[in-house]
Structure 1
Amino acid sequence: MDSTIYNIKDGPKDGKKVFRKLGTCSRTFFYILNREFGHPKEQEERASDPLAGGIMQQGYQCGMLWGASLAVGAEAYRKCNNQNQAICVAINATQSIMESFIKREQTINCREITKCDFSNKLSFAKYFFSGRFLHCYNLAEKWAPEAVQSAIEGLTNKETYLSKICVSCATEVAKKMGASTEEMMMVAGFAGGLGLSGSGCGALSAAIWIKSLEWCREEEKSSPLKNPDLKNVLEAFYFATDSKILCSDISGEHFMNFDDHTSFIKKGGCAKLINTLAES
Structure 2
Amino acid sequence: MDSFKTSTRDGPKDGRKVFLKSGTCSRTFFHILNHEFGHIKPTEERASDTLAGGIMQEGHQCGMLWGASLAAGAEAYRRFENRDQAIAVAILATQKIMESFKEREGTINCREITHCDFSNKWSMAKYFVSGRFLHCYNLAQHWAPEAVNAALKGLSDDSTNPSEPCLSCATEVAKKMGANEEESIMVAGFAGGLGLSSGGCGALAAAIWLKSLTWCNDVPQKMAMNNPHAQETLSAFYQLSNSELLCSKITGRKFETNAAHTRYIQNAGCAQLIQNLAHIK
Q: Give TM-score, length-normalised by structure 1.
A: 0.94
The residue type equivalent to 2:161 in the other structure is Y
Partner SS for 2:225 = helix
Structure 1 residue 160: deviation in Å? 3.4
Q: Partners of 1:149 and 1:105 in 2: how far apart?
A: 17
Cα pair 2:174 2:184 within 8 Å, conserved = yes
Which amino acid in 2 is paired with 1:215? W
Q: Once the two structures are superposed, what CA deviation does each residue of 1:128-177 show, in whole Å capped at 9, x if it has no partner? A: 12221000011111100100000000001346315331000000000011
Aligned with 1:175: secondary structure? Answer: helix
| 8 Å contact kept, 1:85–1:158 | no
Q: Which residue of 1 aligns with 2:224?
A: 224
Q: Which residue of 2 aligns with 1:90?
A: 90
Does the 8 A contact of 1:85 with 1:164 survive in 2? no
Alignment of 1:166-245 (within 5 A): 166-245=166-245
Between the aligned partners of 2:54 and 2:226, the Cα distance in structure 1 is: 17
Cα distance in 2 for partners of 1:216, 1:232 equals 15
In structure 1, what is the Cα distance between the partners aligned to 2:130 and 2:104?
22
Kindly tell me the number of residue pairs found equivalent between the two proteins: 270
Letter in 1 for 2:44: E
CA distance in 2, matches of 1:18, 1:106: 24
Query: Does the alignment pair 1:142 with 2:124?
Result: no
Supply the distance in 2 between the matched residues of 1:147 and 1:223 (Cα, whole angstroms).
24
User: Is the Cα–Cα contact under 8 Å of residues 168 and 262 in structure 1 kept in the other structure?
Assistant: yes
Compute the displacement of 1:275 (Å). 1.1
Superposition deviation, residue 223 in structure 1: 2.2
AA paired with 2:179? A
For the residue of structure 2 that corresponds to 1:262, the secondary structure is helix
1:69 maps to 69
CA distance, structure 2, for counterparts of residue 157 and residue 150 of structure 1: 11
| DSSP-derived class of the 1:101 partner | helix
Flag the 1:214–1:158 CA change in 2: closer, same or farther, 3 A. Answer: farther
Identity %: 66
Please state whether the residue corresponding to 2:160 is helix, strand or coil.
Answer: helix
Q: Secondary structure at the match of 1:72?
A: helix
Aligned to 1:58: 58
Structure 2 residues without counterparts, runs of 5 or longer: 1-10
Question: Counterparts of 1:98-137 in structure 2 under 5 Å?
Answer: 98-137=98-137
* More divergent stretch after superposition (240-249 vs 90-99): 240-249
Cα RMSD (Å): 1.1
Q: Which residue of 2 aligns with 1:160?
A: 160
Amino acid at match of 1:239: Q
Segments of structure 1 that go 5 or more residues without pairing to the other structure are 1-10
Counterpart amino acid of residue 258 in structure 1:
N
Task: Tell me which stretches of 4 or more aligned residues in structure 1 moved more than 3 Å.
Answer: none
* Cα distance in 2 for residues equivalent to 1:159 and 1:77: 17
Deviation digits for residues 33-81 of structure 1 (CA, Å, limit 9, x no counterpart)? 0000011101100000010000000000000000000000000000012
Q: Measure, in 2, the Cα distance between the counterparts of 1:152 and 1:225.
A: 28
Do the aligned residues in 2 keep the contact of 1:51 with 1:209 (CA within 8 Å)?
Answer: yes
Q: 2:221 & 2:200 partners in 1: Cα distance?
A: 29
Determine helix, strand or coil for the equivalent of 1:160. coil
Q: Structure 2 CA distance, aligned partners of 1:203 and 1:160?
A: 22
In 1, Cα distance between equivalents of 2:206 and 2:38? 23
Partner of 1:7: none
Report the Cα offset of residue 279 of structure 1: 0.8
Output the amino acid matched with 1:29: F
CA contact (8 A) 1:89 1:158 kept: no
CA drift at 1:98 = 0.3
Q: Name the residue aligned to 1:251.
A: 251
